[in-house]
Structure 1
């Protein structure tokens, strides 16, 4: 099938593009490059040996999307475009609501007008808020604790209502836990603008000497070592989950949600130790105050995706760290090298 991939020049999007292309699908990318580089798509083409048509612009731009659909036969979409920093969302909530929801609504309206009603939506484990128990199954109570998570939760509600009103839609929402790692080629990886919001690119930049130390946000949580516990999964495994979801959409009328996670938790200090094993050096760190919106523990029950999508993680955290370090070492300044 021919897939419209929004946010396809980003960290997750580029890895999804590789897996889609390697699985025989066509990919058309739309990305406004607000937190990505055009070079990333050129790297995807190097890895796969296949061309990737791309459009620079915003998914909330109806005219742009109409042009994409006029110039390509689109069978389905994977919607990854959106702002994604929890901390920033608490400081700039209106920006997050406007950007993330406008993009989704415009995409769905355009898809519907062109009869392309198969969609994989990039959701998030933040829709579970502060979970009552772990591991978290898809039937756990929903309730985001920050504006970023709320945009994902509202997005899911929009899609559920759309599927009820128009039963020919096929929609799968994938609730990501914490993607880490990089493509094993070292050609693509996470390259955030400015100060990284996610733990692993920050650790990698400290290991490479670009930053002085890792800031550990809180060591007084109710966890074994006091630091936050998250479910880290390799970005290649995450990308393969999108291929599995797209191929499931053929008989998946309505809207369904699946967790994509490893099924176990790792603390911040354990993550730093894993990276130290990968790079062979000590990572300086400093404990600072908790960030607004953060929670203590979050990890998945991925059994539904294992069972219904035929998907499971195959990479370890140590492999993810090794791949991040390979990417960082080969590209010390990211795609700007």
Structure 2
């Protein structure tokens, strides 16, 4: 077996180690064997050294203190995924000893602000992910002061946590931050001036927040922003999209379940770089498609559960870059979809609703 960048489970890794086909040092090899025997998945580099360990898909009791201690015997490990595990504040003291770590995924772990004093010791960390959707994670504004010590962070996920402008104010020194996700947090318009102070930000998720036109007006000048998620942000209106339409570098825009229609779509005409657009569950109709049809770089377009009909499809005929078009739960007929498919042979057109898609 060649130890490369693939993920391996117990049977494959143990067989390779026993056969001496991995070039890793003894401590690394022994720790790897023990981890996969416990149910974790590992990813190795070209030399056979473990570079990532995933506990997320493993049995619930896999991320024990004894197993986490094995990570300290992996000299090249750069990523640890503990999402959904039962890792606690105290056990993160073990993780804090891994100076090589670049990525740490702690989504849905039973953690409090106390855990962050350990995380803050990981000075080389570039990506840190939390999520409080299940209620297990209770990190809030008070913990942001510790996260602010991680000056190399490029990716920070704080979805479903009790984080407001008070917490974001503590993070503005993270000048290398490129991705910030704040879905269903306490973020509102008062926070947008602070978010605008992240000079390298490329991806921003504000789903299910209280952001409105006033807040969006404050981030128009973020010229590096390429990916904006406003899904289920109930205060976003057609008028608010006038500010989005000025964000000319956008490549991805998510407006799922946002109360906007044709008037809002007309505001997007200037987004010439847009490649991915989700208008699912909006009130856009055939008139709005005339504008969407001018976004020539689109490769993905979701129009499910909208008011579009056969009459509007002709507006999409020149989207020659389109690879996927979703028309589920609309008034579009199979015949009209088939006709469009002839004009856009490279695109997969989905007309039938499939749960979860």
TM class by smaller structure: under 0.3
Higher helix share: 1
Query: Relative contact order (C-alpha < 8 Å, sep 6+): which is higher?
Result: 1
TM superposition score normalised by structure 1: 0.27
- The normalised TM-score by structure 2 is 0.26
Which structure: larger Rg? 2
